[in-house]
Structure 1
Amino acid sequence: MERTIIQTTNAPEPIGPYNQAVLVNGTLYISGQICLDPTTNTLKNRDIQEETHQCMQNLKAVLYEAGMSFDNVVKTTIFITDMHQFSEINEIYGKYFHGNFPARETVQVAALPRFVNVEISMIAVK
């Protein structure tokens, strides 16, 4: 099995012992992204829309570094701290796929890193 570590300065540095993404046999496994701005290392969390947008921008940067786009995404997982924000998150999230939606689950959790409200991970295939 050939593993390639994907790393870009256009997405936040990992805040723990993991990689931004790992590419194995044409499948890209992207670690969960939160609303951390990679240029300022600050949270973009004025509201849930801004948080979701920054998560998606971070994921986009990792996909790009691996030579992929949202068209390559086959599976996502969304972790949220308040299911009442589901529709607002969905509205921003959906705009990135242009109708080519992947499989997905959305799970409410008690807390997320840095106490943000949303974290998204993805699996993409070349």
Structure 2
Amino acid sequence: MAAGRARIESISTGNAPEPKGHYAQAIVHGGLVHVSGQLPLLPDGSHQPEAGFDAQVRTALDNLFAILRAAGSDPGRLLKVTAYIVGVENWPRFNAIYAEAMGEARPARSVVPVPELHYGYLIEIDAVAAGDCR
């Protein structure tokens, strides 16, 4: 590796769905963990688009947290979270579930209402966190 060039590490865990496209669950670079958008698929990759909004949010957050742990990070080290939600009326429910899951952690956050998401899901979450500086 050339001097001054930080290593780029791809993160993969069986505790979150395997990517179905040309991307990694997360990339660690320069002490940061960049987590790809997480839909509420189960870790085995099975779909539940009929699950209610609350269950979808919890599953997407579980996937996010599993990937953070695999990268040597955790929710308390989140720096920025972006949540894409179908239906602006779901915002208050999202906020309540998110606050419960995050506890004392209060990363910067954006919530973006969108008309639809892949597979008919109602939530997708991506994030950037401080890593463990491996």
Question: How many residue pairs align between the two structures?
Answer: 126
Gaps of 5+ in 2: 1-5
Deviation, structure 1 residue 44: 6.1
Indicate which of 56, 65, 69 corresponds to 1:64. Answer: 69
Indicate which of 72, 75, 78 corresponds to 1:73. Answer: 78
Structure 1 position 14 matched with structure 2 position 25: no
Aligned amino acid, residue 29 of structure 1: H
Q: Under a length normalisation based on structure 2, what TM-score does the superposition of the two structures give?
A: 0.89
Question: Mapping of 1:1-126 within 5 angstroms?
Answer: 1-39=6-44, 41-43=46-48, 45-126=50-131
Deviation, structure 1 residue 45: 4.4
Q: Under a length normalisation based on structure 1, what TM-score does the superposition of the two structures give?
A: 0.94
Cα deviation, 1:79-106, whole Å, max 9, x if unaligned, reads: 0110100011111111122122100111
Deviation, structure 1 residue 39: 2.7
Q: 1:87 to 1:68 in 2, by over 3 A?
A: same
2:63 partner SS: helix
Are the equivalent residues in 2 in contact too, given 1:81–1:112 (CA < 8 A)?
Answer: yes
Deviation, structure 1 residue 74: 0.6
Aligned amino acid, residue 82 of structure 1: G
CA RMSD of aligned residues (A): 1.2
Q: 1:40 to 1:105 in 2, by over 3 A?
A: closer
**Alpha-carbon separation, structure 2, partners of 1:45 and 1:63:** 26
Are the equivalent residues in 2 in contact too, given 1:35–1:45 (CA < 8 A)?
Answer: no
**Alpha-carbon separation, structure 1, partners of 2:99 and 2:82:** 13
**Alpha-carbon separation, structure 2, partners of 1:6 and 1:87:** 32
1:96 partner SS: helix
Are the equivalent residues in 1 in contact too, given 2:49–2:119 (CA < 8 A)?
Answer: no
